[in-house]
């Protein structure tokens, strides 16, 4: 492993953000590598990144296997492709501020094996149903982690996290069949399987608004999250997938 840090950026149709995101990261962190893990976007995401990567060997673009679509699958593949001692995963839409990476990288260099960006203010989770959903998701995940006898964090659902690359690669290799590849909460999956006594840190940041384009995932998370909660969660997810329950769930989430 070489010293330094790789930023993993999962993308799906991010033409409005990805060019600015990659150049911002390259300006702020000239030593970092950037891996864009793209699930076959239908817009210009690929062209935009390939134009940059043609001139910059710190930037790489991955077109993912169309048969293996999934946000978590993309993130895990990005971690497996990282060649530096540390990696940090973040969204490509500026909801995670690029400036937060400096502090997270310092924590990793100081010996943290997993560092989690925790949202200071969640008031832009617009709507009561979303707020309750987010609260419920946290406790479901915390309960599952307790059953696994693992550490918890105040933001297990975070999409901003970094870690010791080798340690996480080992977890992904060893637990590949148990990971929810089509899921949206890769950090939660990792936390279930990392050693119990790792040096885990948290880094508070201000969660922003998406700069351009639209969210692809927020409303479809609950069932997928339950699938990550072991046997009892998978049982509940099957009930929620039944038509009458599913219709109610979709209505509630739209409000
Ligand atoms: N590779 C990949 N990236 C995705 C997928 N879905 C969303 N993303 C990316 O994951 C990040 C977060 O997605 P977003 O739609 O903003 O979710 P939200 O912030 O929860 O509303 C963004 O960078 C998206 O482009 C997917 O299926 N595959
Ligand atoms: Mg977003």
Gap from CA of 164 to ligand 1 centroid (Å): 23
Gap from CA of 171 to ligand 2 centroid (Å): 26
Q: Residue 16: its pLDDT value, please? A: 97
170-175 average pLDDT score: 98
Nearest atom in ligand 1 to 75's CA: 1
| Mean per-residue pLDDT of the chain | 92
Instruction: Give the 3-state secondary structure percentages of the chain, helix then strand then coil, rounded to 5.
Output: 45, 15, 35
Q: Residue 220: its pLDDT value, please? A: 66
Q: Which ligand is nearest to the CA of 11?
A: 1
Question: Does residue 229 belong to any structural domain of this protein?
Answer: no
Residue with more model confidence, 179 or 123:
179
Question: Does residue 238 belong to any structural domain of this protein?
Answer: no
Partners of 203 in the beta sheet? Answer: 117
Confidence of residue 160 (pLDDT cuts 50, 70, 90): very high
Gap from CA of 96 to ligand 2 centroid (Å): 8
- pLDDT at 234 exceeding the cut of 90: no
Question: Does residue 172 belong to any structural domain of this protein?
Answer: yes
pLDDT tens for each residue of 53-80: 999 999 999 999 999 999 999 999 999 9
Ligand 1 pocket test: pick from 130, 212, 217 the residue with the most ligand atoms within 8 Å of its Cβ.
Answer: 217
Both tokens of residue 114?
A: 């997993």
Burial of 38 (0-12, 13-18, 19+ CB in 10 A): buried
Question: Does residue 14 belong to any structural domain of this protein?
Answer: yes
Residue with more model confidence, 159 or 249:
159
192-197 average pLDDT score: 96
The model's pTM? 0.93
Total structural domains within the chain: 1
The CATH number linked to 76 is: 3.90.550.10
Cβ neighbours of residue 248 under 8 Å, at least 6 residues apart? none
- pLDDT at 196 exceeding the cut of 80: yes
Q: Residue 177: its pLDDT value, please? A: 94
Q: Residue 239: its pLDDT value, please? A: 86
| Residues within 6 Å of ligand 1 by CB | 10-12, 14, 37-39, 69-71, 74, 91-93, 95, 159, 210, 215-218
Domain of residue 78, residue span: 2-212
In the chain, % of residues over pLDDT 70: 94
In the chain, % of residues over pLDDT 90: 74
Question: Does residue 220 belong to any structural domain of this protein?
Answer: no
pLDDT tens for each residue of 25-44: 999 999 999 999 999 999 99
Question: Does residue 235 belong to any structural domain of this protein?
Answer: no
Nearest atom in ligand 1 to 159's CA: 12
Gap from CA of 91 to ligand 1 centroid (Å): 7
Indicate the angle between helix axes 243-254 and 128-147, nearest 10 degrees. 120
């Amino acid at each position: 492993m070489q010293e330094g840090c790789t930023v993993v950026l999962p993308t799906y149709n991010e033409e409005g953000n990805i060019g600015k995101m990659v150049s911002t990261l390259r300006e702020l962190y000239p030593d970092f590598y950037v891996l864009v893990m793209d699930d076959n976007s239908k817009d210009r995401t690929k062209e935009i990144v390939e134009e940059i990567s043609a001139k910059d060997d710190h930037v790489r673009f991955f077109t993912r296997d169309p048969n293996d679509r999934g946000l978590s699958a993309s993130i895990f593949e990005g971690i497996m492709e990282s060649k530096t001692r540390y990696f940090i995963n973040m969204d490509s839409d500026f909801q995670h501020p690029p400036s937060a990476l400096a502090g997270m990288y310092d924590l990793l260099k100081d010996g943290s094996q997993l560092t989690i960006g925790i949202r200071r203010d969640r008031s832009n989770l617009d709507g009561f149903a979303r707020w309750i959903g987010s609260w419920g998701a946290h406790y479901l995940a915390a309960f599952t982690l307790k059953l696994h006898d693992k550490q918890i964090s105040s933001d297990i659902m975070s999409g901003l996290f970094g870690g010791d690359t080798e340690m996480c690669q080992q977890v992904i290799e060893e637990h590949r069949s148990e990971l929810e590849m089509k899921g949206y909460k890769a950090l939660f999956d990792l936390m279930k399987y990392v050693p119990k006594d790792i040096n885990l840190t948290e880094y508070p940041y201000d969660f922003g608004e998406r700069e351009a384009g639209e969210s692809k995932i927020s409303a479809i998370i609950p069932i997928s999250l339950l699938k990550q909660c072991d046997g009892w969660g998978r049982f509940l997810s099957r009930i929620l997938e039944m038509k009458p329950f599913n219709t109610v769930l979709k209505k509630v989430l739209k409000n």
